[in-house]
Amino acid sequence: MTTAATSSRARIRDEGRVVAVVRAHPRLWALLAVVVGWVIVWSFTEGTHTLHIGTSTSTGVHDWLQDLSENLQDAFASPSDIVVRIISGLSDGLDSIFTWLQHLFTVAPFPRPFPQFGWLGIVALAALATFAIAGWRLVLLVVPAFLLFGFLGFWTESVDTLLITLFSVVFSCLVGIPLGIWMAHSKVVSAIVTPVLDVMQTMPSFVYLLPFSILFGIGPAAAIMVTLVYATPPVIRISAHGLRTVNPGVVEATSSLGQTAWQRLVKVELPLAKRTIIVGVNQTIMAALAMATIAAYIDGPGLGQPVIDGLQRNQFGTAAVAGICIVVLAITLDRTTTAASVRAEQARRAGNHGRRLRRIVLVAGSAGTLVALYLSHMYVWANEFPSSPDLGTPIRNAVDDFGDWLLTDLSGFTTSIQDGFTNWFLNPVQSLVAESPWFVTGLALLLIAMIVGGLRALVATFVCLAGIYLLDLWYNAMVTLTSVLVATVLVVAIAVVLGVAMGRNLTTDRVLRPFLDAGQTIPPFVPLIPVLILFGPNRFTAIIAGVIYAAPIATKLVADGIRGVSSETIEASRSTGANRWQEITKVQLPMARGSVLLATNQGLLYVLSMVVIGAMVGAGGLGFDIIWGFRQADFVGKGLAAGITIVLLGIMLDRITTYGAARAGESATLKAGRRPQRGPSTMLG
């Protein structure tokens, strides 16, 4: 055989392999082609037709939104309007209920010099409630946590935060869990509610602070309503996700036994989805606590006030100590709700002897709690928290010293890291997305949506991009989009690595979960300060802040999905000789695909919710427009336009990822030789 013939056959084999690779991953290669074409066009057109407008420039649509805001404010200033009277009644009712709770536990009702019940009664009541719903082990966590609030110097603020959190979470769950059940069983309801949830979760809190302060005034009522809006979506989405992922074989088996829909829901679906629903409740608690700082801007009571005051006065230590109280409260509530979810099973295992012992302890504890409440009502020593030991002052001083050390010894090194990342990666990506002509970027995004998610994603992307174009904030939207995408990629990478480790090992879960709770619940401004010291005010700092805030929930969801893979499936894979890496990549991650996709979606939405806070440290983009509109009355319209634009970005990215995930699932099913299931998607929509 000649050398030429051999070379020809080798070339044909190589070409055949290339064709096979292309055929195996057609969408991946199509995406690569779009990106390459985009880069080529950008290299010739950079900086032209970007639709960039100045900070102090308002367009016609911004003026229209400005007039709408002013007209709304004038309308709600009229006491004769029926809607105004209803909202005023609701506001007064919320204020009255919360004021009554404060008079019981934190604020002295005139003419009494102290609240009705003081620290001793509150600690005893918390211990009794914890034992009743979660068991004695959690009492060992709750009692020291409550005492720590006082030792750190924030007893009153911590109890106020607990009251407003429980008040908001109870209402969120009463509305959210039934709505999540309805969404899981109805595609129509899911299609209607999902965009509303997108708006609630992606609209920056600073945007709706203004309308809620107009509607409900300044104080507890407005703070409660803002918290409700922000905290309700997680429990709805995650409850619906949990019910959708219940094994359909089990549901069909129970249906064949003649159970009604209500019996099937109560006896089968809810018990099987309980663990995931509890994750949703926990995330609602975390979201409500995360709003403590933001709500302080409209005079919301609680720990948000000392955080804001400390930051405004450059007292990092004061803000950090108040943030520690929020974290401790978050960990306490998280562990209590988690333990409560398995309390019934533990009671069954304990048997009759355990139940009798528990009743005796409850009776004795109730009597002791009544005595403690009486003492705290009658005596100053049991009502006013003692001033010593004082743990807050040394921690405050240590944190201030730590901040000084970061600034003097580490900021030079970390700044070089930030410069390298920004110059070599972030700037080129932002230039490609924002500095390309608007129609080039728009066309590229439409093609990417079509390739990833198909026709439905294309339509959703077109509608959202059209809305962004009409709102006259295209350039700033693309700047924000760049930062959000970079932060989300980092969040997903962290979530998969840590979530797999937590899902596979209970000890790892116990070690990492307090840090995740801290990252999710500590006011975003507090970790932002050391990051700001290390990296300076810029987009990189804003991205890191978004990652710190969004990674915890994404990691928890991935861990929940990995843990949900049945032990029988794991044992079957091990019996075939699969090693640890194959077990993770071939079994656990594919079977936890729904949770990973949900984690990606939630991580994306949480990153978007940090856009405004990121703008406070130099991120620019839409977040700066919102802050500018919040601070300058003449630019409220532009701030509202920026808020709506962020919502459109969130919906666009959500639809692309959701439809892309569904399409990938159908492709995988077809490759496996099975017909694709057309049931509800495991994603949010």
Q: How many residues does the chain have?
A: 685
Does 301 lie in the same domain as 263?
A: yes
In this structure, the answer to whether residues 251 and 336 fall within a common structural domain is yes
Asked if 129 and 213 sit in the same domain, the reply is: no
Asked if 337 and 353 sit in the same domain, the reply is: no
Residue 472, in any domain of the structure: no
Contact present, 29 and 22 (Cβ < 8 Å): yes
Q: Give tens-digit pLDDT for 166-212.
A: 888 888 889 889 998 898 888 888 888 888 887 777 676 666 676 77
Residue 185 in any domain: the answer is yes
Of 383, 409, 441, the residue that ends a domain is 383
* Whole-number pLDDT of residue 232: 87
Which of 341, 374, 399 terminates a domain? The answer is: 341
What is the reported pLDDT for 371? Answer: 94
Q: Considering only CA atoms, give the Rg of the chain.
A: 27
Task: Tell me whether residue 66 is in a domain.
Answer: no
Is 133 within 8 Å of 367 (Cβ atoms)?
Answer: no
Q: Are residues 374 and 242 in the same domain?
A: no
Q: Which domain holds residue 147?
A: 115-151+346-383
Are 159 and 149 contacting, i.e. CB atoms less than 8 angstroms apart?
yes
Do 323 and 288 belong to one domain?
yes
Nearest Cα residue to 208 out of 228, 188, 191, 190 = 228
In this structure, the answer to whether residues 304 and 247 fall within a common structural domain is: yes
Asked if 608 and 202 count as a contact pair (C-beta separation under 8 A), the reply is yes
- Residue 358 forms part of a structural domain: yes
d(CA 679, CA 586): 24
Report if residue 265 sits inside a domain. yes
pLDDT value, residue 399:
85
Same domain membership, residue 285 and residue 171: yes
Say yes or no: 218 and 328 in one domain. yes
Residues 6+ apart with CB under 8 A from 685: 190, 191, 194, 654, 655, 658
Distance separating alpha carbons of residues 70 and 72, to the nearest angstrom: 5
Residue 352 burial (C-beta neighbours within 10 Å; 0-12, 13-18, 19+) = exposed
Residue 290 to residue 300: CA distance in whole angstroms: 13
Q: Which residues of the chain have pLDDT under 70?
A: 1-25, 75-81, 83-84, 202, 204-208, 210, 251, 255-258, 311, 314, 342-354, 520-523, 525, 664-685
How would DSSP label each residue in 35-56? HHHHHHHHHHHTTSS-----TT
Structural domains of the chain, count: 2
- The residue type found at 588 is Q
Say what the pTM is: 0.72
Domain termination residue (choose one: 341, 366, 397): 341
Same domain, 271 and 372: no
Residue 178, domain member (yes or no): yes
Q: Are 120 and 166 part of one and the same domain?
A: no
Asked whether residue 187 is assigned to any structural domain, the reply reads yes
Q: In this structure, is residue 333 part of a structural domain?
A: yes
Q: What is the DSSP string of 109-137?
A: PTT-SS-SS-HHHHHHHHHHHHHHHH-HH
Please state, in angstroms and rounded to a whole number, the distance separating the CA atoms of residues 134 and 143: 13
Same domain for 360 and 322: no
CATH number, domain with residue 297: 1.10.3720.10
